[in-house]
Amino acid sequence: MKKEEIRARIEQLGIVPAVRVSSADHARYAAETVCRSGIPIAEITMTVPGALEVIGDLAKNVPEMIVGAGTVLDTDTAQRCVDAGAQFLTSTGFVREVVEFSVQRAMLFVSGALTPTEVIQAWQAGSDMIKIFPCGQVGGPSYIHALKVPFPQVPLIAAGGVNQQTALDYMLAGATALGIGGELIPKEALQRKQDQRIRELAKRYLAMIKEARRRMAGS
């Protein structure tokens, strides 16, 4: 799948589940469960033990899922993620060498950023989308709205502080998509293998994204 298609799919879904858990088994379970819940995409962070093996397993065994690698902070890690089967890469901050690596390979890259200066740097370097992290600590939806005023052309993914109370507001503020981890994949649900709980949360978030878009289309 080409990066343009992956970006379009992220924009269509409006959500990128961030799998940042304490074991490879939990990571596989989390990714497979959100996929079955109607969100066929997952970002496996490099903080997950055995993250590369998880990415490889999902890429091979769950072909309908778009599997990405998160918290990619150097080109060596980026190459290993690509070799494992990752279809897109993300970072929690702006790392120029990883952006350039992705541009050279025509691979979708989502750079982390927080300040306007970082957004400009990441966008000019070639990032396809910008993940604003951590949103919740710097103003939440109002901060996304403030950034969209000078950067209407930049697709922003709101991450860090997105939950059931704020998801709708983030989308209405102008976020292209939401990056959600523990609020979509609760630790307890993983430990107890509560598929239904994760499915219900996925349903709620997807409904909020749909509602936000309905309101924006009618405004």
Any bridge partners for residue 179, and if so which? 16, 159
Task: For 89-113, give one letter per residue: b (16+ CB within 10 A) or e.
Answer: bbbbebbeebbebbeeeebbbbbbb
pLDDT, one tens digit for every residue, the chain (219 residues) = 899 999 999 999 999 999 999 999 999 999 999 999 999 999 999 999 999 999 999 999 999 999 999 999 999 999 999 999 999 999 999 999 999 999 999 999 999 999 999 999 999 999 999 999 999 999 999 999 999 999 999 999 999 999 999 999 999 999 999 999 999 999 999 999 999 999 999 999 999 999 999 999 986
CATH homologous superfamily of 3-214 equals: Aldolase class I (3.20.20.70)
Q: What angle do CA 83, 84, 87 make, to 5 degrees?
A: 85
pTM, rounded to two decimals: 0.96
For 200, phi and psi rounded to 5 degrees?
Answer: -65, -40
